[in-house]
Structure 1
Amino acid sequence: MTVQVVLAIAVFVVAYVFIATEKLPRVLVALGGAALMVLIGATDDAAVFFSQETGIDWNVVFLLLGMMIIVGILRQTGLFEYLAIWAAKIAKGRPFRIMVMLIVITAVLSAFLDNVTTILLIAPVSLLVAQRLGKSPVPYLLAEVFASNIGGTATLIGDPPNLIIASRGDLGFNDFIVELAPIIVVLVAVLVGLCRILFRSTFAYDADRAERVMALDEREAIRDPKLLVKSLVVVGLVLVGFVTSTFTGLEPAIVALLGAGLLVLLARLEPKRVFGDVEWETLLFFAGLFVMVGSLVNIGVIEAIGQAAKGAVGDHYFAASGILLFGSAVFSGIVDNIPFVATMAPLTADIVQSGGAAAHPLWWALALGADLGGNLTAVGASANVVMTGIAKRNGHAVSFWQFTKYGLVVTAVTVGLCFPYIWLRYFL
Structure 2
Amino acid sequence: MAGFTFLAVYLFLAISHKYRGPAVWAGTLILLITGTLGPISAFKSINWNVMGIFGGTYLVAELFIYSRVPARLADGLVARSKNAAMALVLVCGLSGLISAFCENVATVMIVAPVAMVIARRLKVSAIPFLVGIAVSSNLQGAATLVGDPPSMLLASYSGMTFNHFFFFQGKPCLFFAIELAAAVSLIVLYIAFRKYRQPVPRIEREPILSMVPSWLLIGMVAALAIVSFIFPDFEYGTGSVCMLFGAAGTIWFETRVKKGTFSLIKKFDWDTFFLLMGIFVLVEALRATGIIAGLASFLAQMTRGNTFLAYNVVTWTSVFFSAFVDNVPYVTAMLPVGGMLAASMSISPYLLLFGIVIGASVGGNITPIGAAANIVAFGILKKAGENVTFGHFVKIGLPFTVVAVAVAYMFIWFFWR
Normalising by structure 2, what TM-score? 0.72
Shift of 1:86: 1.9
State the partner residue of 1:204.
196
Distance 1:393 1:192, change over 3 A: closer
State the partner residue of 2:333.
343
Take 2:61 and 2:308, find their aligned partners in 1: how far apart are those partners? 42
Distance 1:31 1:347, change over 3 A: closer
State the partner residue of 2:181.
187
Take 1:142 and 1:277, find their aligned partners in 2: how far apart are those partners? 29
Take 2:242 and 2:202, find their aligned partners in 1: how far apart are those partners? 41
Which letter does structure 2 place at the counterpart of 1:127? Answer: P
- Can you list the C-alpha shifts for 1:168-194, whole angstroms capped at 9, x where unaligned? 546534128614455434422331122
> Whose helix proportion is higher, 1 or 2?
1
Given the alignment of the two structures, is residue 275 of structure 1 paired with residue 273 of structure 2, yes or no? no
State the partner residue of 2:234.
none
Take 1:325 and 1:348, find their aligned partners in 2: how far apart are those partners? 10
Take 2:157 and 2:260, find their aligned partners in 1: how far apart are those partners? 42
State the partner residue of 1:222.
207
Aligned residue pairs, count: 393
Which letter does structure 2 place at the counterpart of 1:27? Answer: K
Partner SS, residue 167 of structure 2: helix
Unmatched tracts of structure 2, length 5 or more: 232-236
Partner SS, residue 315 of structure 2: helix
State the partner residue of 1:310.
300
The correspondence of residues 25-104 of structure 1 with structure 2, limited to 5 A, is: 26-28=17-19, 30=20, 33-34=23-24, 36-38=26-28, 40-41=30-31, 46=39, 50=43, 52=45, 58-59=51-52, 62-63=55-56, 65-67=58-60, 69-71=62-64, 73-75=66-68, 79=69, 82-92=72-82, 94-104=83-93
Shift of 1:254: 0.8
Given the alignment of the two structures, is residue 233 of structure 1 paired with residue 215 of structure 2, yes or no? yes
Given the alignment of the two structures, is residue 263 of structure 1 paired with residue 261 of structure 2, yes or no? no
Distance 1:400 1:303, change over 3 A: farther
CA contact 1:310–1:347 (8 Å) conserved in 2:
no
Which letter does structure 1 place at the counterpart of 2:263? Answer: F
Distance 1:371 1:229, change over 3 A: closer
- Can you list the C-alpha shifts for 1:371-422, whole angstroms capped at 9, x where unaligned? 3334344565xxx425644774794598877655643333233334455556
Distance 1:292 1:161, change over 3 A: closer
State the partner residue of 1:130.
116
Take 1:422 and 1:98, find their aligned partners in 2: how far apart are those partners? 31
Shift of 1:296: 6.3
Shift of 1:323: 1.0
Take 2:38 and 2:368, find their aligned partners in 1: how far apart are those partners? 28
Given the alignment of the two structures, is residue 16 of structure 1 paired with residue 5 of structure 2, yes or no? no
Distance 1:337 1:32, change over 3 A: closer
Take 1:235 and 1:420, find their aligned partners in 2: how far apart are those partners? 32
RMSD across aligned C-alpha pairs, in angstroms? 4.4
Distance 1:279 1:155, change over 3 A: closer
Take 2:88 and 2:181, find their aligned partners in 1: how far apart are those partners? 16
Distance 1:389 1:185, change over 3 A: closer
Identity fraction in percent: 19
State the partner residue of 1:175.
168
My pick for the range that moved more, 309-318 or 391-400, is 391-400
CA contact 2:253–2:260 (8 Å) conserved in 1:
no
State the partner residue of 1:409.
399
Distance 1:58 1:154, change over 3 A: closer
CA contact 2:78–2:91 (8 Å) conserved in 1:
no
Q: What is the aligned counterpart of 1:298 among 281, 285, 288? A: 285
State the partner residue of 1:22.
none
Partner SS, residue 27 of structure 1: coil
My pick for the range that moved more, 66-75 or 350-359, is 350-359
Take 1:73 and 1:419, find their aligned partners in 2: how far apart are those partners? 35
Take 2:377 and 2:38, find their aligned partners in 1: how far apart are those partners? 30
State the partner residue of 1:331.
321
Take 2:44 and 2:330, find their aligned partners in 1: how far apart are those partners? 15
Which letter does structure 2 place at the counterpart of 1:66? Answer: L
